[in-house]
Structure 1
Amino acid sequence: MDRSSLLQLIQEQLDPENTGFIGADTFTGLVHSHELPLDPAKLDMLVALAQSNERGQISSKRSSSFKRAIANGQRALPQDGLLDEPGLGVYKRFVRYVAYEILPREVDRHWYFYRHRSCPPPVFMASVTLAQIIVFLCYGARLNKWVLQTYHPEYMKSPLVYHPGHRARAWRFLTYMFMHVGLEQLGFNALLQLMIGVPLEMVHGLLRISLLYLAGVLAGSLTVSITDMRAPVVGGSGGVYALCSAHLANVVMNWAGMRCPYKLLRMVLALVCMSSEVGRAVWLRFSPPLPASGPQPSFMAHLAGAVVGVSMGLTILRSYEERLRDQCGWWVVLLAYGTFLLFAIFWNIFAYDLLGAHIPPPP
């Protein structure tokens, strides 16, 4: 029997319908019944990857990992986890740290660690943070004010700030994320974006994390326009809280599998810091320390971002390296978010006039 006939026979036995898939059980049986030139740890990893597919099939999503495993069959994977692998450089140690910070399953950590490439870098969170710092420095130098900038009469005249009197300028519902109350708010947001947002982007990619961040920012301003109709909004807290709450919810949901050190202490500290920031925002909104010409920025963007993170963000983080479009929960969350957007748009068009809301005059 020639080679082509043999291959055709194997295909007819393993994939008679020519779908391009084979069952996970079939794959597992082949792995254990044939002597492949792979070490036992890597065989276990391949089997675990096969069994992790909800359809019970070997899909093409991780086909590159299988090819790489076959091509590098002599390279052993640690039996007890990546933490036991010696001789790593600084960057690979950082990649390993990110894997243990973000991913709850050892098989996903292995796959991420060995397939990770430094290009493209996590540019979204770094670019957003850099832009926020540049904008803050420009306004700080222009206003000669670095704390409580919203009390300066020229601050609210910025075309970036969301103000209820400028609702028709739709870009403000997003661009307010580049403006901040002061150095303390910018520092808090920038620190969390770099410490949590960058590792999340390294693992889950630019598209997913940018979608989550911008969804939190947009939900923040729209929620303020509904619940606190007279207040403006500044700061990227909606997006930051979406990232943080999604990550914390993922840690809680996969508590036993997470291997990040001092996870309980770190979670408590994160919750304390986030709660303190919300408390500070509430204080500035209702008990401003200085006389102001109008209402101070609302704190509702923080809470809206947290809700987006727990709902949409948790769905994204739990679907590591799986197509979101194949996840039923993703469509439910997307439908709910789309419904909220439509409601908020109609609210901003009609509700202010129907309710006779007395909003402060735009600067």
Structure 2
Amino acid sequence: MDRSSLLQLIQEQLDPENTGFIGVETFASLVHSHELPLDPAKLDMLVALAQGNDEGQVCYQELVDLISSKRSSSFKRAIANGQRALPRDVLLDETGLGIYKRFVRYVAYEILPCEMDRRWYFYQHRTCPPPVFMAAVTLTQIIVFLCYGARLNKWVLQTYHPEYMKSPLVYHPGHRARAWRFLTYMFMHVGLEQLGFNALLQLMIGVPLEMVHGILRISFLYLAGVLAGSLTVSITDMRAPLVGGSGGVYALCSAHLANVVMNWAGMRCPYKLLRMVLALVCMSSEVGRAVWLRFSPPLPASGPQPSFMAHLAGAIVGISMGLTILRSYEESLQDQCGWWVLLLSYGTFLLFAVFWNIFAYDLLGAQIPPPP
């Protein structure tokens, strides 16, 4: 029996008068007597949803959302009030799982702070579509780095090579009119160490985030950090070029760390305090290294070295916009007032940065290094 036939049968037998409510016990007996193809975990969730109802009923639309693997806002609010616990043990007690399902469970405990969210994600997770965005970005960055490394025969501090900065992907203040450079700089890197750091974080944090929250939200967050990074450099460090995907990486990392802090009691990832300290130390060290390369370059260079401001801009985007995205698992962002406030703030910043790049350089008489 397909899903539409199941829903039609339920409405005909359990709600013939179209009241909009269905008795859960009667529904459970219908499932067992007709051997209907409903996941037992979903039946558990349905029972949990009705436990707070005095009449033991559940809204028909909530039942439709449950069978369709969609969570309504009323369903999440009902579970969040603490009165409707699932009859089974926590997800960690599940036994007999394959390698991939254990990985999905690991991702659930890494990213989600609520046991209900973790169980919901675990049971409704599908392998298609896979988390292709972060994998594709990382693979492209590696390919671009290998191409330039082989061409220039240089694998560290590539920005010191004059031919490297001539790339059409690098952001340079003298090429501000070429708008694509405000995004494509994320495919270029100073050297092997910066690429390795960014690729590692993108795969370790970005892929699990994309698995849970989807490609649209995570790609938007990553690209928002990248764009904010280049525009911030164009405002605060007007002479400096820019390479590397650190703006997007720091947006993802800061959003995840902020989400862990905000939901500290509910997070069940192991050694969370130690891991957070290590992450902050590594991120701070990377920023410190970028500052050192910007103001005290170890080798003579023909012009200013890449700016470090993209790191800070990405972190700000992650803590503000990213935190809202990660706290809204399976809920529509459009229904949240805070989301529109953040979008308006980000749009205002973009508009200001565009006018700054058009007019401020000439009005301030900025001494821009000649483009390569």
TM-score of the pair, normalised by structure 2: 0.82
Alpha-carbon spacing, 1:285–1:5, altered in 2? closer, same or farther (3 Å) = closer
2:315 aligned counterpart, secondary structure? helix
For the 8 Å contact 1:65–1:111, the answer to whether it is kept is: no
For the 8 Å contact 1:41–1:77, the answer to whether it is kept is: no
Match of 1:251 among 260, 271, 274: 260
Contiguous gaps of at least 5 residues in structure 1: none
User: Given the alignment of the two structures, is residue 61 of structure 1 paired with residue 78 of structure 2, yes or no?
Assistant: no
Shift of 1:81: 1.1
- Tell me the distance in 1 between the aligned counterparts of 2:55 and 2:155: 55
- Tell me the distance in 1 between the aligned counterparts of 2:357 and 2:271: 45
- Tell me the distance in 2 between the aligned counterparts of 1:160 and 1:248: 30
Alpha-carbon spacing, 1:37–1:60, altered in 2? closer, same or farther (3 Å) = closer
For the 8 Å contact 2:171–2:241, the answer to whether it is kept is: yes
Higher mean C-alpha displacement, 204-213 vs 5-14: 5-14
Alpha-carbon spacing, 1:18–1:272, altered in 2? closer, same or farther (3 Å) = farther
For the 8 Å contact 2:69–2:124, the answer to whether it is kept is: no
For the 8 Å contact 2:294–2:308, the answer to whether it is kept is: yes
Shift of 1:329: 1.0
1:321 alignment partner in structure 2? 330
For the 8 Å contact 2:10–2:27, the answer to whether it is kept is: no
Q: Which structure 2 residues correspond to residues 198-347 of structure 1 after superposition, within 5 A?
A: 198-347=207-356
1:194 alignment partner in structure 2? 203
- Tell me the distance in 1 between the aligned counterparts of 2:131 and 2:53: 27
Alpha-carbon spacing, 1:231–1:30, altered in 2? closer, same or farther (3 Å) = farther
Shift of 1:39: 11
* CA deviation map 1:151-183 (0-9, x unaligned): 001111000000000000000000000000000
- Tell me the distance in 2 between the aligned counterparts of 1:245 and 1:267: 11
Number of residue pairs matched?
A: 363
Shift of 1:82: 1.1
- Tell me the distance in 2 between the aligned counterparts of 1:253 and 1:132: 32
1:7 alignment partner in structure 2? 7
Shift of 1:80: 2.6
- Tell me the distance in 2 between the aligned counterparts of 1:30 and 1:354: 75
Shift of 1:74: 23
Alpha-carbon spacing, 1:143–1:81, altered in 2? closer, same or farther (3 Å) = same
1:102 alignment partner in structure 2? 111
Higher mean C-alpha displacement, 19-28 vs 84-93: 19-28
- Tell me the distance in 1 between the aligned counterparts of 2:4 and 2:313: 60
Identical pairs, percent? 92
Alpha-carbon spacing, 1:199–1:45, altered in 2? closer, same or farther (3 Å) = same
* Cα-Cα RMSD: 6.2
Shift of 1:61: 3.6
For the 8 Å contact 1:38–1:70, the answer to whether it is kept is: no
Alpha-carbon spacing, 1:28–1:202, altered in 2? closer, same or farther (3 Å) = same
* CA deviation map 1:254-290 (0-9, x unaligned): 0000000000000000000000000000000000001
Shift of 1:19: 11
For the 8 Å contact 1:65–1:115, the answer to whether it is kept is: no
1:22 aligned counterpart, secondary structure? strand
Alpha-carbon spacing, 1:37–1:2, altered in 2? closer, same or farther (3 Å) = closer
2:22 aligned counterpart, secondary structure? coil
Q: After the TM superposition, which segments of 4 or more aligned residues of structure 1 sit over 2 Å from their partners?
A: 1-80
- Tell me the distance in 2 between the aligned counterparts of 1:180 and 1:3: 50
Shift of 1:119: 1.1
Alpha-carbon spacing, 1:75–1:22, altered in 2? closer, same or farther (3 Å) = closer
Alpha-carbon spacing, 1:275–1:55, altered in 2? closer, same or farther (3 Å) = farther
- Tell me the distance in 2 between the aligned counterparts of 1:306 and 1:6: 47
For the 8 Å contact 1:39–1:76, the answer to whether it is kept is: no
Alpha-carbon spacing, 1:36–1:152, altered in 2? closer, same or farther (3 Å) = closer
Higher mean C-alpha displacement, 137-146 vs 35-44: 35-44
- Tell me the distance in 2 between the aligned counterparts of 1:220 and 1:240: 11
Shift of 1:327: 1.2
Alpha-carbon spacing, 1:339–1:4, altered in 2? closer, same or farther (3 Å) = closer
- Tell me the distance in 2 between the aligned counterparts of 1:183 and 1:90: 32
* CA deviation map 1:203-225 (0-9, x unaligned): 00000000000000000000000
For the 8 Å contact 2:31–2:38, the answer to whether it is kept is: no
Higher mean C-alpha displacement, 80-89 vs 277-286: 80-89
Shift of 1:27: 12
TM-score of the pair, normalised by structure 1: 0.84
